Structure 1
Amino acid sequence: MPKSSTKPFKRGDHVSWNSEAGRVRGHILRVHTEDVDYKGYIHHASPDDPQYEIRSDKTDHVALHKRRALRLLKS
């Protein structure tokens, strides 16, 4: 895995991830560095392993994902 893949993402980055419906693209809204309760589920996060809150480009659906599930897209 390339070294750049461990670089943290920041708010506004355009990323993609796999979902049941296929590859999804969206922009990062927030970076959570502490556990966050989202839709009744606790998503575990820390400064070393944050959760990224992302809004889908197509549906406006908001999802939370860890760094390892995301791929940075070129603008």
Structure 2
Amino acid sequence: MASVKKGDHVTWKTPQGRASGTVVEKVTSTTKIAGHTATASKEAPQFKVRSDRTGKQAIHKAEGLGKG
């Protein structure tokens, strides 16, 4: 999904099924969150999302996100 931007409502796969949430910000540098290191760059950005169900934040690659 190339057109992800802050405020978009998105979905992604988890081991428990599908999750949904809101894009908080575009990440363009290596960032640590919840014990995970996301290796993002300006050429390969990733997106910080906040889960609708738990309120927790995670970082996902654009291709792992769907509009929803």
Same topology, TM > 0.5: yes
Query: Does 1:68 find its partner at 2:68?
Result: no
1:24 shift after superposition:
0.3
Higher relative contact order structure (alpha carbons within 8 Å, sequence separation ≥ 6): 2
SS at match of 1:29: strand
**RMSD over aligned Cα, in angstroms?**
1.3
Give the counterpart of 2:6 among 8, 11, 17.
11
Q: Specify which structure has the higher proportion of helix.
A: 1
After TM superposition, the score normalised by the length of structure 1 is 0.80
Q: Which ranges of structure 1 fall in alignment gaps of 5 or more residues? A: none
Q: Specify which structure has the higher proportion of strand.
A: 2
Identity %: 34
Query: Does 1:41 find its partner at 2:36?
Result: yes
After TM superposition, the score normalised by the length of structure 2 is 0.88
Query: Does 1:25 find its partner at 2:48?
Result: no
How many matched pairs?
A: 68
Larger Rg: 1
Q: Which ranges of structure 2 fall in alignment gaps of 5 or more residues? A: none
**Cα distance 1:8–1:23, how it changes in 2: closer, same or farther (>3 A)?**
same
